[in-house]
Amino acid sequence: MDSDDLKKRTKQFALQIIKLVETLPKTNTGRVIGYQLVKAGTSVGANYRAACRGRSKAEFNSKLHIVLEEADESAFWLELIVEAKLMTNADIKPILDEANELVAIFSKSYSTAKRNI
């Protein structure tokens, strides 16, 4: 998978997050978790694009680590939505699976990039 594919994939992830958050209950909890999830989920793609524009290997690695953290945070909020019974596991599973796949991809990428400095 090349950087253009990952840019598209992370943008699709952000769009899926936005659509999911729109379906959360309009309670205080739903709004707060939704806000946090939108911030983290859209940040994955934005920071990956920034990493690709990095001016040095160190800058690339720094941004890539942020991408990893945001993908993992997205997974946390998705898990919390299920555990708080705001949505069912069946509703969340596909996007949670994608969040976990992105974590795995960016974890491996970060490890490789860190070794190459």
Q: For the chain, how many helices (H) and strands (E)?
A: 4, 0
User: What whole-number percentage of the chain has pLDDT above 70?
Assistant: 100
Q: What is the pTM of this model?
A: 0.94
Residue 77 sits in a domain whose CATH number is 1.20.1440.60
Q: What is the DSSP letter of 1?
A: -
Contact 48, 10 (CB under 8 A): yes
The sign of the torsion formed by the CA atoms of 23, 28, 31, 33 equals negative
Domain holding 61, by residue range, is 3-115
Number of domains into which the chain is organized: 1
Instruction: Read off the pLDDT band of 1 (50, 70, 90).
Output: confident
Instruction: Read off the pLDDT band of 26 (50, 70, 90).
Output: very high
Better-scored residue on pLDDT, 114 or 30: 30
Contact 52, 103 (CB under 8 A): no
pLDDT tens digits for 99-108? Answer: 999 999 999 9
